[in-house]
């Protein structure tokens, strides 16, 4: 226990050292001095955040394979001692105290309870298919067939061990990279501000919450960062119990008096504004005051303040909500497919067992005797259970996905749900945002337009004043505005004249501008920067100035530039228009080529952007993406409905000026038409559409909310990563499809042959050899997860009718081939036997070889098989050959009816020449089957069998839904005073006016 404690403390200490960064560069500097220093010293960090983000505290002894990653040894009851919440904002808590509290409350993160390695291993013995195989174990024990008993258990253990190990390895790779998207937090510890991983927070930590950051824990606001003296006021109010208890954010400020009048209990002025839309649906930021609780994972939109962490993430509002669905596991479409195949095979097994038993009754076979023979009814059932149940099916398919996820992780694509790989392989439409995905997200300001009589340096200074000055978390537009001042030294001199910011209002989607109230001496300046029309509407410019301004804004838009108007108001006088900033975000160097590649893969790209339509069209032209780009208003308020609206979405190359609800609607309409849709996003507001999409993709730099909603998170920028992921997922899909066809054919092969041989000649392959055939089949295909697979040139899907038809044909051909070799043994000279041999061993070798080589057929011929697959199959073939040569487990010859005429050796040995002939015959069988398989895939109707219509119209349904969406139930009173509910047309929504 002492060693374990030491390991935990050492790991935690290592994590702390690794993730702690001091923020001393701008300490003690006033706002504009810090801003100038930032402009001078900024270096583009193309290497990204080098902070190591591996999970800390996860060390465990190598031999403790069953143990889950170490967690805090104490119990987190969710109740924090009151004395822990009295931390001084200047000193914070000590590092040692933080370690102590973490042992009680664990890491500050919401994760599914980590399953122990032992439980995970035992999980590989559960499921319908595995239960049937375990029934076979009991049956073998009851028949006292101890060899069969041991080998069947060995097969189960093999599958479980390989599956557990491969999935663990893949999970470790993904987990090691997940830290790259870990949330960060600024805290006060040991009297210093430190930047740490949010998971390292503990209750009682002093957090600094500021604009642009995600709140890292449920925390109570103490005071404004610029007014630390208010800490005393906070303490007094707390002693007087003036603060509300931690609550549901939906119930904030909803207390009412006896008359129903709201009671708003606030203290002082608003310190922060937080975006709680992800948890409450409120579209506007919520003002937060001293003593209010800011909630975990919400975004801070304005202000900077001290706050104290109230509890761990697990017991936060979001954490409690997450725990309600902790037990729900979305198995998705993939599990439904696997269940369908497994259930069908189990039904077939029952059918063949029934047929074998009926034939056995006519042969007067006993139920369990003779004891040392495979020719009795229970042994028939045991044999068919072994050959008819694909015990490796769940393990091989799951581990193939896990290995694929590990490969994608190395390509900087973190798969959060394994089933997302299958979804991505079938995607046939990709809805992509523009900034940072199609473009480089490297804004630069070109030559600005300056209004007549105005000074460019003063305009750039006003633009910088109307920007956020929080240099730790600048948005791209404010960042490029401020950094452009490197080219305007006189503008920087203007900023150094003693400006003081009284109020800063971040971008508001309603007013479409950013404003700040500043003072220079006794003069008051209101500085504004925003959409050209919004800025122009503030001013009272003459007609000529207005025309020039609008013409230049239109020209910038036609050239693909984003433009921002700049204006100011001095001492409450008239607004003065200064000019326009033109910003350009160039396409990524590889985007045009990648789009062509995506289209070649059957995945057209639709661009969804918030930019103006002129900018969107220009970007599409530069990327050869198509020019059918529409304003989102045409989608929402253009008078289109039903089928016409769906047609617009299908044929469009993109939409401009979109809002999150537009993205959701586009995805929904494409899905209604039968398309499998992938959606990229990066913001909190993109979360609904990412959830709605068949495969939600959070792009590089996405918010925590977007990452949580997405199925796949990309750590590398651009569209090329998405195309690479599509190709990889299709390769993974191909491996699974090849294995499933192979496994179904194997089950049918032996079921058909064995049952017909039981009925016709009263003979079977000994159960001891059957279990080794099953073992070899699993051993040979363990390496399929590492096979070289090809990527289909069109979206893939499970064509179950086609899979079953081809698998049945392959199974029948294999059964016929086995009957042919059995038939030759009735010839007087023994047919295939050259010198001597054994019926059991000859059949065993032929079945083993043809079944093992079938995987080379179903995997296709477009790529060479991997070394791992070839080596695995060659290894089991050699073992099978040794079985035949030395007659292992052949037993006494089974007397068939009619009996074979050639002389069988009692010891079961087979001569080497006969073995060579069997190899040659098996090669010939495999070639014939490969030709048949190739021809089947060339048949047009069969190749398309089971494919869904990816663009199907249901005109009546679409139009009906459209009409119903415009209706509403209205409640009223008629002229007789009777209350009635009537169906009426919904009131038309008012459109926003940008003019």
User: What is the spatial distance between Cα 459 and Cα 454, in angstroms, rounded to a whole number?
Assistant: 8
Question: Does the annotation mark 585 as catalytic?
Answer: no
Cβ neighbours of residue 744 closer than 8 Å, sequence gap 6 or more: 341, 345, 390, 803, 804, 807, 808, 811
Residue 501 β-bridge partners: 518
Q: Which residue has the tokens 């608003």?
A: 270
Cβ(26)–Cβ(37) under 8 Å?
yes
Give me the helices (H) in 243-284, please: 277-280
Crossing angle of helices 393-410 and 419-426, rounded to 10°: 70
Cβ neighbours of residue 622 closer than 8 Å, sequence gap 6 or more: 560, 587, 592
Cβ(737)–Cβ(860) under 8 Å?
no
Question: Residue 318: which H helix or E strand, with range?
Answer: helix 317-324
Catalytic residue among 55, 148, 433, 682: 433
User: What is the spatial distance between Cα 252 and Cα 915, in angstroms, rounded to a whole number?
Assistant: 82
For the residues of 659-683, what is the DSSP string, one character each? -HHHHHHHHHHHHHTT--EEEEE-S
Cβ(53)–Cβ(179) under 8 Å?
yes
In 3D space, the residue among 987, 995, 535, 600 whose CA is nearest the CA of residue 791 turns out to be 600
For the residues of 412-434, what is the DSSP string, one character each? TEEESSTHHHHHHHH--EEEEEI
Question: How far is Cα of residue 226 from the mean position of the Cα atoms in its chain?
Answer: 40
Query: Side by side, which strands form the sheet with 21-22?
Result: 21-22, 192-197, 184-189, 206-210, 304-309, 219-224, 293-294
Cβ(796)–Cβ(730) under 8 Å?
yes
End-to-end CA distance of the chain: 71
Neighbours of 172 (CB within 10 A): 12
Question: Residue 209: which H helix or E strand, with range?
Answer: strand 206-210
| Number of continuous H segments (helices) and E segments (strands) in the chain | 33, 29
Rg over CA atoms, the chain: 35
In 3D space, the residue among 412, 342, 349 whose CA is nearest the CA of residue 382 turns out to be 349
Q: Which residue has the tokens 């023994």?
A: 830
User: What is the spatial distance between Cα 426 and Cα 791, in angstroms, rounded to a whole number?
Assistant: 12
Distances (CA, A) of 664 to 648, 659, 670, 693: 15, 9, 10, 8
User: What is the spatial distance between Cα 790 and Cα 802, in angstroms, rounded to a whole number?
Assistant: 19
Q: What is the largest CA-CA distance in the chain?
A: 119
Cβ(230)–Cβ(290) under 8 Å?
yes
CB contact burial 851-861 (16+ within 10 A = b; e otherwise): bbbbbbbbbee
Residues in the chain: 995
Distances (CA, A) of 44 to 40, 747, 791: 12, 60, 37
Rounded to 5°, angle at Cα 217 from 215 and 223: 70
Distances (CA, A) of 548 to 16, 242, 455, 580, 618: 57, 57, 17, 11, 22
Question: How far is Cα of residue 944 from the mean position of the Cα atoms in its chain?
Answer: 29
Question: Residue 558: which H helix or E strand, with range?
Answer: helix 543-558
Residue 306 β-bridge partners: 208, 223
Catalytic (active-site) positions: 433
């Amino acid at each position: 226990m002492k060693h374990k404690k030491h390991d935990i403390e050492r790991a935690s200490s290592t994590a702390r050292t690794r993730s702690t960064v001091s923020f001393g560069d701008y300490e003690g500097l006033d706002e504009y001095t810090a801003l100038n220093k930032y402009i001078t010293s900024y270096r583009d960090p193309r290497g990204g955040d080098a902070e190591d983000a591996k999970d800390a505290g996860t060390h465990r002894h190598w031999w403790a394979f069953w143990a889950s990653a170490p967690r805090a040894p104490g119990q987190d009851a969710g109740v924090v001692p009151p004395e822990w919440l009295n931390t001084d904002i200047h000193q914070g808590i000590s590092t040692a105290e933080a370690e102590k509290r973490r042992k009680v409350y664990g890491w500050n993160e919401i994760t599914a309870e980590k399953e122990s390695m032992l439980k995970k291993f035992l999980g590989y013995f559960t499921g319908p298919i595995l239960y049937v195989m375990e029934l076979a174990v009991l049956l073998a024990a009851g028949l006292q067939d101890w060899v069969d008993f041991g080998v069947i258990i060995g097969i189960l253990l093999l599958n479980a061990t390989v599956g557990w190990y491969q999935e663990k390895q893949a999970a470790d790779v993904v987990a090691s990279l997940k830290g790259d998207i870990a949330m960060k937090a600024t805290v006060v510890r040991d009297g210093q501000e430190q930047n740490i991983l949010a998971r390292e927070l503990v209750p009682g930590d002093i957090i600094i919450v500021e604009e642009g950051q995600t709140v890292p824990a449920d925390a109570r606001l103490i005071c404004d960062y610029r007014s630390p003296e208010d800490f005393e006021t906070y303490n007094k109010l707390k002693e007087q119990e003036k603060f509300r208890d931690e609550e549901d954010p939906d119930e904030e400020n909803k207390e009412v008096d006896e008359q129903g009048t709201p009671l708003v209990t606030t203290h002082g002025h608003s310190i922060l504004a937080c975006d709680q839309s992800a948890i409450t649906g409120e579209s506007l930021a919520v003002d937060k005051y001293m003593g209010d609780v800011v909630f975990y994972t919400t975004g801070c939109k304005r202000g900077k303040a001290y706050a104290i962490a109230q509890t761990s993430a697990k017991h936060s509002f979001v954490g409690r909500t997450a725990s309600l669905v902790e037990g729900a596991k979305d198995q998705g479409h993939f599990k439904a497919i696997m269940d369908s195949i497994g259930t069908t095979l189990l039904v077939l097994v029952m059918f063949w067992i029934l047929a074998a038993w009926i034939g056995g009754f006519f042969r007067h076979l006993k139920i369990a005797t003779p004891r040392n023979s495979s020719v009795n009814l229970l042994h028939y059932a045991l044999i068919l259970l072994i050959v008819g149940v694909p015990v490796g099916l769940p393990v091989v398919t799951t581990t193939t996905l896990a290995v694929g996820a590990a490969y994608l992780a190395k390509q900087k694509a973190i798969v959060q749900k394994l089933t997302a790989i299958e979804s991505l392989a079938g995607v046939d439409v990709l809805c992509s945002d523009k900034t940072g995905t199609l473009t480089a997200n490297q804004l630069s300001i070109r030559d600005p337009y300056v209004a007549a009589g105005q000074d460019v340096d003063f305009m750039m200074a006003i633009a910088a004043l109307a920007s956020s000055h929080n240099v730790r978390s600048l948005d791209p537009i404010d960042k490029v505005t401020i950094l452009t001042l490197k080219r305007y030294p006189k503008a920087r001199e203007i900023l150094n004249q003693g400006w003081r910011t009284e109020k800063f209002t971040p971008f508001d989607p309603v007013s479409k501008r950013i404003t700040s109230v500043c003072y220079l001496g006794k003069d008051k300046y209101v500085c504004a920067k925003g959409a050209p029309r919004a800025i122009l509407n503030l001013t009272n410019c003459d007609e000529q100035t207005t025309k020039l301004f609008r013409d230049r804004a239109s020209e910038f838009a036609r050239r693909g530039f984003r433009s921002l108007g700049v204006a100011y108001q001095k001492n409450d006088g008239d607004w003065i228009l200064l000019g326009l900033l033109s910003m350009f975000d160039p396409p990524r160097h590889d985007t045009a080529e990648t789009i062509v590649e995506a289209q070649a893969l059957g995945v057209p790209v639709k661009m969804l952007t918030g930019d103006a339509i002129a900018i969107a069209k220009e970007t599409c032209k530069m990327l050869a993406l198509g020019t059918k780009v529409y304003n989102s208003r045409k989608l929402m308020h253009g008078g289109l409905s039903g089928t016409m609206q769906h047609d617009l979405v299908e044929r469009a190359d993109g939409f401009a000026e979109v809002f999150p609800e537009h993205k959701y609607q586009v995805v929904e309409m494409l899905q209604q038409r039968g398309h499998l849709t992938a959606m990229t996003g990066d913001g909190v507001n993109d979360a609904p559409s990412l959830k709605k999409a068949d495969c939600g993709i959070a792009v590089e730099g996405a918010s925590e909310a977007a990452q949580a909603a997405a199925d796949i998170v990309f750590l590398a920028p651009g569209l090329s990563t998405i195309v690479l992921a599509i190709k990889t997922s299709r390769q993974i899909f191909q491996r699974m499809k090849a294995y499933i066809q192979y496994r179904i054919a194997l089950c049918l092969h032996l079921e058909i042959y064995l049952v017909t041989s039981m009925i016709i000649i009263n003979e079977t392959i000994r159960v001891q050899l059957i279990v080794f055939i099953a073992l070899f089949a699993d051993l040979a295909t363990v390496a399929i997860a590492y096979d070289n697979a090809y990527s289909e040139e069109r979206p893939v899907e499970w064509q179950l009718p086609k899979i079953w038809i081809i698998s049945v044909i392959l199974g029948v051909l294999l059964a016929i081939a086995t009957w042919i070799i059995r038939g030759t043994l009735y010839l007087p000279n023994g047919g295939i036997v050259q010198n001597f041999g054994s019926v059991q061993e000859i059949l065993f070798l032929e079945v083993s070889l043809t079944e093992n080589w079938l995987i080379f057929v179903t995997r296709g011929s477009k790529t060479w098989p991997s070394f791992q697959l070839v080596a695995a199959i060659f290894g089991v073939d050699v073992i099978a050959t040794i079985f035949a040569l030395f007659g292992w487990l052949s037993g006494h010859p089974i007397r068939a009816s009619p009996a074979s005429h050639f002389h069988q050796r009692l010891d079961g040995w087979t001569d080497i020449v006969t073995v060579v002939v069997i190899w040659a015959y098996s090669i010939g069988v495999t070639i014939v089957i490969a030709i048949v398989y190739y021809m089947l895939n060339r048949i047009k109707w069969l190749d398309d069998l089971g494919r869904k219509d990816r663009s199907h119209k249901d005109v009546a349904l679409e139009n009906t839904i459209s009409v119903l969406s415009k209706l509403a139930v209205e409640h009223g009173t008629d002229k007789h005073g009777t209350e009635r509910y009537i169906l009426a047309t919904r009131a038309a929504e008012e459109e926003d006016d940008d003019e």
